[in-house]
């Protein structure tokens, strides 16, 4: 025995909750006997399950640690996550770790892992102990073709259990095949690579930056009925304004230098751009106002603030053309900023008054 024994938690992480799904055992699984039972049931339910080997590996580490520390200073536990999403899995792991450490405060956590996925929870474990050691359990596979086939099949099944992974694995080849057939029917084969590259690029960008979810959140911010109609109308007006501005720029660039062309475009289209942006908020304002929500005044502030884009762009164009001085331009911009600050506090006060 050491003179100053420290408390050690031997921990196994089942992040996607294979134990719960395949055996019905809920985490946290605390104690040697319960972990032996869970690992045995998991191995019986699925002999190829790597988490069973990880739990047996944790039991082995626990037995070794008992030779160094007293029984009261060593604990073994298996924490299970969630197979639906990484967020739910991490939240469940935090909950179970809080339950474990409520009465047992470890000075050191020995994480017994079967792969890099479980080791991604190390930042979460650092909340419960500053010292974390990792023991990896590697399952040796036969070099035969049959064993390699079953191993590959297992990982492919794990891959396709996730709907997002399925969408990428089948969606991208499906898009390429569809475009190939469509362009062949339309006799547009020369555009196939450009079209396929564009669509695949958009799909990958969406998966990387979650663009579709962000668009849904943006559209949802403006409402579901009048707000949605207003948002679509404003976006349509903004798109048309940009297209008309581009066409006029192409037409006038032959007769005007850039320092004259840019102010002229701002003068001609600033009102349409500001009005389109303001319309996007107006419908949401009336919809929220009808429902009695204090958020209505937030939309009202947005609508009025968007309209200030018109005089701002007008003054920018006048300054670029030399019609007004720099002092006049700065004075106007400061006035607009003060107006928006006053408007913000006014709408904020109206919102709180409505709430009360």
Note the pLDDT tens digit of each residue in 216-226: 777 777 777 78
Residue 142 has pLDDT above 60, yes or no: no
| pLDDT score, position 11 | 92
pLDDT above 80 (res 64): yes
Q: Tell me the pLDDT band of 141, cut-offs 50, 70 and 90.
A: very low
In whole angstroms, how far apart are CA 176 and each of 67, 184, 318?
60, 12, 50
- At 167, is the pLDDT very low, low, confident or very high (cuts 50, 70, 90)? low
| 39 falls within a domain | yes
Domain total of the chain:
3
Among 214, 247, 268, which residue terminates a domain? Answer: 214
Residue 230, pLDDT score: 87
The owner of tokens 């972990």 is: 35
pLDDT above 70 covers a percentage of the chain that reads 85
| 259 lies in some domain | yes
Last residue in a domain, options 214, 231, 246 = 214
Q: What is the pLDDT of residue 95?
A: 92
Residue 271 belongs to a domain: yes
The pairing of beta strand 29-30 with beta strand 74-80: antiparallel
Give the strand pairing for 108-113 and 8-14: parallel
d(CA 121, CA 90): 7
Judge whether 65 lies within some domain: yes
What's the pLDDT tens digit per position in 185-214?
Answer: 888 777 777 777 877 787 777 777 777 777
Say if residue 329's pLDDT is above 70: yes
Query: Which of 47-56, 117-126, 269-278 bottoms out in mean pLDDT, i.e. has the lowest?
Result: 117-126
Domain that holds residue 51: 8-136
Q: Which two tokens stand for residue 338?
A: 């003060």
In a domain, 184, yes or no: yes
Q: Could you tell me the pTM of the whole model?
A: 0.44
Q: Does residue 226 sit in helix, strand or coil? A: helix
């Amino acid at each position: 025995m050491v003179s100053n024994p420290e408390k050690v938690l031997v921990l196994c992480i089942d992040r996607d909750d294979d134990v719960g799904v395949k055996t019905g055992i809920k985490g946290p699984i605390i104690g040697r006997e319960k972990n032996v039972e869970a690992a045995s049931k998991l191995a019986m339910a699925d002999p190829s399950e790597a988490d069973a080997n990880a739990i047996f590996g944790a039991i082995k580490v626990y037995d070794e640690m008992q030779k160094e520390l007293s029984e009261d200073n060593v604990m073994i536990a298996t924490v299970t996550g969630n197979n639906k999403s990484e967020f739910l899995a991490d939240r469940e792991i935090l909950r179970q770790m809080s339950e474990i450490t409520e009465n047992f405060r470890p000075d050191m956590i020995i994480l017994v892992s079967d792969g890099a996925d479980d080791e991604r929870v190390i930042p979460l474990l650092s909340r419960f102990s500053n010292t974390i050691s990792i023991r990896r359990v590697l399952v040796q596979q036969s070099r035969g073709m049959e064993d390699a086939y079953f191993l590959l099949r297992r990982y492919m099944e794990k891959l396709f259990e996730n709907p997002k992974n399925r969408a990428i694995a089948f969606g991208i080849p499906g898009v390429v095949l569809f475009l190939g057939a469509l362009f062949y029917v339309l006799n547009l084969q020369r555009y196939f690579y450009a079209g396929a590259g564009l669509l695949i690029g958009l799909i990958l960008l969406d998966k990387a930056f979650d663009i579709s979810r962000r668009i849904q959140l943006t559209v949802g911010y403006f409402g579901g009925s009048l707000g949605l109609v207003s948002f679509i109308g404003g976006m349509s007006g903004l798109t048309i304004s940009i297209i008309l501005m581009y066409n006029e720029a192409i037409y006038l660039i032959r007769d005007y230098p850039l320092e004259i062309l840019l102010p002229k475009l701002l003068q001609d289209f600033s009102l349409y751009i500001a009005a389109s942006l303001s319309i996007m908020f107006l419908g949401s304002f009336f919809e929220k106002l009808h429902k009695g929500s204090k958020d209505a005044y937030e939309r009202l502030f947005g609508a009025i603030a968007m309209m200030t884009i018109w005089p701002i762009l007008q003054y920018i164009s006048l300054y670029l053309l030399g019609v007004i001085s720099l002092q006049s331009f700065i004075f106007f911009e400061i006035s607009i900023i003060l107006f928006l600050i006053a408007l913000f506090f006014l709408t904020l006060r109206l919102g709180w008054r409505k709430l009360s």
